[in-house]
């Protein structure tokens, strides 16, 4: 398959990131063209709009960061939706200075349970995390009585999620912090190398002396913490937690990771790609809603974009 | 006799699932105020049917080592289509049913094409096509609605004697051979028919065996000269057809169409759970759609029991999750006995 000359100089791992980046420009151009033709202005190119999109993207981005780690070791975490909700609900219920530590603890607990099931009992993560998700949902429904909890987010949660410094929302700084952590983790630590090794061939990693079970467990813990952190930020953004607040995030998170070039079978992918994938999805959603596209058309375009992006770069090499 | 013993041992897991189902179901009937009656059986069978179809549909990609995240979406698409087409004269309804089945199969075929020719992993390819099918369903039914033909609803969601009554068979009194089976739910008969007329022939065909071979080792299957692409295309098409049957029945059962995104997602996830409880390996290569039917039955019967035994509705989701977790953890206990850790990796 012939590739554009512009991209041929890039390494195979960076190519998906570059393609997704180009696609973001295409989305912005198409959206701007639409608003220029219809309203005669270009709100999409204003810094305020872009910062707001990044703020919305921060929640998805933090979830996708954890999800990417799990996908890199060729597992998946479907317990994310109710880990998000549980983190938010616990934090708002505890309140006070212990709100955020309590929410993080929920994420750690879910991650440990997931990790034990997947790494030690060797149950396929697809089904085990699904069961954990159901249990978390049950616990939260029992805890809240099935209604939106009356407790509200603490001031710190609101400060971290909704407030701005010099016009930049703090949520973006949170995403940035998570991103720096992920990049250092994946590029500069032996843990990061172990992650890629397990994703490529777990047996080989084990024989090379990688403690595969502990690495897997820790990956699920990080994913759980990311999900509960995103949940608390979401609660801070919306000032309270609500039922099903995480449901809309799991599939976009997987899609963002895959669009960013991470192999769904694990072992390959760069974190920068995931960030670009998140921005692509958030912008796509936003531009489609500016175009007043009905839900039906949005779903179809969403599906087509995922297939298109994968056709361009995500094809696995095996015949 | 040794042949029988071998077969029993080979299907020990499936048999234990069936025994579990039978025990829980007997418990349910014993505790139900109207237990052991045709009416209860009919209601249960109707509730199980659509998910059983989806679980069968899900089994086929899982046997190949993949996963189909679009079964719920295909079901929803066909459900919305059926709510438009299943009205009018008998001929129109018959054509409508045919169109629904073709749509389901076509959706599956598209999945197959994306997987085979696009060379995209099934799980992510069907995630994307699933979004497209949900979008199409939303175009057909932006808001829930539609009114299906009442006769087909009555005929399909009741016992066999209501079916023959609606169709107009045996108008001069039921024959003697029919009376013992008059109380059998029509949907149960349909389920058995689908299993014997679609699944069993497929399982025994070369393509069906190729699906198992691909799940065990795709390279070995390729080296053995099996037509991998054709097997995958057929498998996904068949999965789409089965999901379409599920959607068709859902429309008939509810007498309307509803492009409900959370419902589609819920059905997809439940279908995976059913497949796993039914004993099909998520790694591919072993299991059967028959097992998935019983997996669905176990899953559903447990929630039936919640209704009978008066468990607080708020606690039900938690118990369902715990049952699912313990069911899959039981199967994993053998891992604790493995001596050579390398056996754990595949």
pLDDT in tens, A133-163: 888 888 888 888 777 777 778 888 888 888 7
Residue of chain B nearest A206, judged by CA positions: B342
Residue B35 lies in a domain: no
Measured between CB atoms, which of A134, A202, A255 is closest to B317? Answer: A134
Q: How far apart are CA A229 and CA B200, in angstroms?
A: 49
Position B292 in a domain: yes
Residue A173, number of CB atoms within 10 A of its CB: 13
Q: Which of A130, A253, A293 to mutate to test the interface with B (most CBs of B within 10 A)?
A: A130
Q: What is the pLDDT of residue B38?
A: 83
Instruction: Give me the residue from A134, A135, A316 closest to B121, CB to CB.
Output: A316
Identify whether the C-beta of residue B61 lies closer than 8 Å to the C-beta of residue B239: yes
Query: Is the per-residue pLDDT at A128 higher than 80?
Result: yes
Q: What is the pLDDT of residue A177?
A: 94
Contact B332 A127 (CB under 8 A): no
Q: Of the candidates A138, A145, A258, which has its C-beta nearest B124's C-beta?
A: A258
On whether residue B160 sits in a domain, the answer given is: yes
Q: Which of residues 254-293 of A touch B (CB under 8 A)?
A: 254-255, 258, 264-265
Closest listed residue to residue B121, CA positions, set B29, A34, B129: B129
For the domain covering A9-314, report its CATH number.
1.10.3470
**Mean pLDDT value of segment A197-212:** 89
**B11 domain-assigned:** no
Tell me the chain A residues in contact with residue B314 when contact means C-beta distances shorter than 8 Å: 141-142, 145-146
Q: CB A135 to CB B67 under 8 A?
A: no
**Exposed / middle / buried, residue A224 (Cβ in 10 Å: 0-12, 13-18, 19+):** buried
User: Is A315–B118 a contact, with Cβ atoms under 8 angstroms apart?
Assistant: yes
Number of Cβ within 10 Å of residue B289's Cβ equals 30
Using one digit for the tens of pLDDT, what is the confidence trace for A7-54?
Answer: 556 666 777 888 888 888 888 888 888 888 888 777 778 888 888 888
pLDDT tens for each residue of B330-339: 766 666 666 6
Whether B107 maps to a domain, the answer reads: yes
Across the interface, of A145, A298, A316, the residue whose CB is closest to B119 is A316
Which of B328, B330, B336 should be substituted to probe chain A, the one whose Cβ sees the most A Cβ atoms within 10 Å? B328
Closest chain A residue to B344, measured at CA: A122
Name all contacts of A181-185 with Cβ < 8 Å and 24+ positions apart.
A182/A65, A182/A68, A182/A69, A182/A271, A183/A271, A183/A272, A185/A69
B23 domain-assigned: no
Interchain CB contact of A295 with B (< 8 Å): yes
Domain residue ranges in chain A? 9-314
Tell me the chain A residues in contact with residue B135 when contact means C-beta distances shorter than 8 Å: 295-303
Quote the pLDDT of residue B58: 94
Q: Do B325 and A135 touch (CB under 8 A)?
A: yes
CA dist., res. B49 & res. B247, Å (int): 10
* Angle ∠(A150,A153,A159) on CA atoms, nearest 5: 160
- For B235, residues 6+ apart whose C-beta sits below 8 A from its C-beta are B60, B61, B63, B64, B112, B207, B211
Q: How far apart are CA A77 and CA A64, in angstroms?
A: 11
Q: In this complex, which of A122, A254, A311 lies closest to B335 when CB atoms are compared?
A: A122
Q: Is the pLDDT of residue A2 over 70?
A: no
Beta-carbon contacts below 8 Å between A and B = 155
Residue B37 in domain = no
Domain count, chain B: 1
Q: Do B127 and A255 touch (CB under 8 A)?
A: yes
Residues of B in contact with A255 (CB under 8 A): 124, 127-128
Q: Which residues have a Cβ under 8 Å from the Cβ of A75 and sit 6 or more positions away?
A: A118, A125, A216, A219, A220, A266
pLDDT < 50 stretches in chain B: none
* Rounded Cα gap, residues B234 and B139, in angstroms: 28
pLDDT at residue number A241: 83
Which pTM value belongs to this model?
0.85
Cβ–Cβ contact A127 with B under 8 A: yes
The closest alpha carbon to B246, from B190, B202, B298, belongs to: B190
Residue among A130, A258, A303 minimizing CB distance to B273? A130
- In A116-189, alpha helices (H): 125-144, 155-161, 170-188
Cβ–Cβ gap A303/B272 under 8 Å: no
CA–CA min distance A171, chain B (Å): 28
pLDDT of residue A317: 47
* pLDDT higher than threshold 80 for residue A214: yes
| b/e map A57-73, b = 16+ CB within 10 Å | bbbbbbbbbbbbbbbbb
Domain assignment of residue B132, yes or no: yes
Q: How would you write B238-281 as a 3-class SS string?
A: HHHHHHHHHHHHHHHHHCCECCCHHHHHHHHHHHHHHHHHCCCC
Contact flag B322-A135 (C-beta cutoff 8 Å) = yes
Burial bucket for residue A17 (CB in 10 Å: 0-12, 13-18, 19+): buried
Cα–Cα distance measured from residue B248 to residue B294, given in angstroms and rounded to the nearest whole number: 21
Of B127, B273, B318, the CB nearest to A138: B318
Asked if A296 is an interface residue toward chain B (Cβ–Cβ < 8 A), one would say yes
What pLDDT digit, counting tens, does each position of A218-265 carry? 999 999 999 999 999 999 888 888 888 888 888 889 889 988 888 888
Could you tell me which residues come within 8 angstroms of residue A92 by beta carbon, excluding any fewer than 6 positions away?
A99, A149, A151, A152, A153, A154, A157, A235, A240, A241
CB contact under 8 Å between B325 and A131, yes or no, is: yes
**pLDDT the model gives residue B336:** 65
- Could you say which of B118, B123, B222 has the minimum Cβ distance to residue A264? B123
Instruction: Report pLDDT for A319.
Output: 33
Radius of gyration of chain A (CA): 20
Rg of the Cα atoms in chain B:
21
Q: Which residues of A are less than 8 Å from B123 in CB distance? A: 264
B130 chain-A contacts, CB cut-off 8 A: 303
Q: Which of residues 18-77 of A touch B (CB under 8 A)?
A: none
Cβ contact A314–B120 (<8 Å)? yes
Domain that holds residue B159: 44-320
Provide the shortest C-alpha distance from residue A88 to chain B (in Å). 19
Q: How far is B193 from chain A (nearest CA, A)?
A: 29
A262-315: pLDDT as tens digits = 888 888 888 999 999 999 999 988 888 888 888 888 889 888 988 888 887 655
Tell which of B62, B66, B69, B124 to mutate to test the A interface (max A CBs under 10 Å). B124
Substitution target in B132, B228, B259, B330 with the highest count of A β-carbons within 10 Å is B132
């Amino acid at each position: 398959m012939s590739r554009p000359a512009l991209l041929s100089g890039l390494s195979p791992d960076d190519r998906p990131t570059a393609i997704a980046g180009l696609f973001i420009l295409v989305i912005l151009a198409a959206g701007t063209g639409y608003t220029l033709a219809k309203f005669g202005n270009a709100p999409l190119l204003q810094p305020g709009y872009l910062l707001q999109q990044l703020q919305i993207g921060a929640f998805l981005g933090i979830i996708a960061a954890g999800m990417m780690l799990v996908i890199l070791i060729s597992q998946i975490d479907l317990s994310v939706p109710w880990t998000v909700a549980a983190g938010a609900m616990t934090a708002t219920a505890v309140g006070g200075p212990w709100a955020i530590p309590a929410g993080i603890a929920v994420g750690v607990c879910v991650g440990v349970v997931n990790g034990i099931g997947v790494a030690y009992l060797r149950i396929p993560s697809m089904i085990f995390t699904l069961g954990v998700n159901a249990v978390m949902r049950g616990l939260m429904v029992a805890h809240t009585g099935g209604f939106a909890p009356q407790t509200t987010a603490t001031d710190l949660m609101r400060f971290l999620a909704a407030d701005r410094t010099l016009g930049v929302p703090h949520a973006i700084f949170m995403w940035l912090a998570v991103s720096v952590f992920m990049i250092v983790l994946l590029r500069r630590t032996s843990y990061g190398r172990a992650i890629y090794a397990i994703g490529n061939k777990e047996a080989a990693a084990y024989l090379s002396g990688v403690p595969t079970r502990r690495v897997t467990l820790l990956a699920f813990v990080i994913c759980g913490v990311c999900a509960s952190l995103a949940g608390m930020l979401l609660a801070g953004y919306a000032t309270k937690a609500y039922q099903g607040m995480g449901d809309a995030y799991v599939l976009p998170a997987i899609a963002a990771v895959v669009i960013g070039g991470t192999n769904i079978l694990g072992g390959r992918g760069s974190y920068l790609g995931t960030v670009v994938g998140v921005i692509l999805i958030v912008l796509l959603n936003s531009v489609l809603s500016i175009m007043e596209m009905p839900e039906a058309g949005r779903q179809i375009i969403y599906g087509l974009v995922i297939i298109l992006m994968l056709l361009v770069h995500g094809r696995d090499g095996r015949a | 006799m040794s042949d029988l013993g071998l077969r029993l041992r080979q299907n020990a897991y499936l048999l234990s699932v069936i025994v579990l189902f039978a025990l829980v179901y007997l418990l349910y009937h014993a505790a139900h105020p109207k237990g052991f009656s045709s009416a209860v059986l009919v209601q249960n069978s109707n509730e199980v049917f659509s998910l059983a179809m989806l679980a069968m549909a899900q089994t086929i990609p899982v046997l190949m080592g993949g996963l189909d995240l679009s079964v719920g979406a295909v079901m929803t698409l066909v459900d919305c289509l059926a709510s438009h087409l299943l009205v009018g004269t008998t001929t129109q309804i018959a054509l409508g049913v045919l169109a629904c089945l073709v749509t389901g199969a076509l959706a599956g075929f598209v999945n197959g094409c994306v997987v085979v020719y696009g060379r995209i992993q099934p799980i992510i390819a069907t995630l994307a096509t699933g979004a497209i099918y949900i979008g199409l369903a939303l175009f057909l039914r932006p808001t829930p609605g539609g009114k299906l033909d009442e006769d087909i609803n009555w005929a399909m969601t009741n016992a066999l004697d209501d079916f023959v009554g609606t169709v107009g068979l045996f108008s001069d009194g039921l024959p003697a051979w029919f009376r013992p089976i008059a109380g059998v739910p029509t949907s149960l008969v349909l389920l058995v028919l689908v299993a014997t007329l679609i699944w069993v022939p497929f399982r025994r065909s070369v393509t069906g065996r190729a699906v198992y071979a691909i799940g065990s080792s795709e390279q070995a299957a390729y080296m053995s000269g099996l037509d991998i692409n054709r097997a995958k295309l057929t498998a996904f098409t068949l999965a789409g057809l089965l999901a379409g049957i599920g959607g068709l029945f859902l429309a008939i059962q509810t007498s309307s169409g509803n492009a409900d995104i959370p419902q589609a997602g819920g059905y997809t996830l439940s279908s995976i759970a059913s497949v796993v409880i039914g004993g099909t390996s998520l790694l591919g290569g072993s299991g059967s759609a028959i097992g998935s039917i019983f997996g669905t039955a176990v899953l559903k019967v447990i929630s039936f029991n919640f209704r009978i035994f008066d468990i607080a509705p708020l606690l039900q989701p938690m118990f369902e999750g715990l049952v699912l977790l313990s069911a899959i953890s039981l199967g994993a206990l053998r891992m604790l006995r493995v001596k050579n850790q390398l056996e754990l990796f595949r």
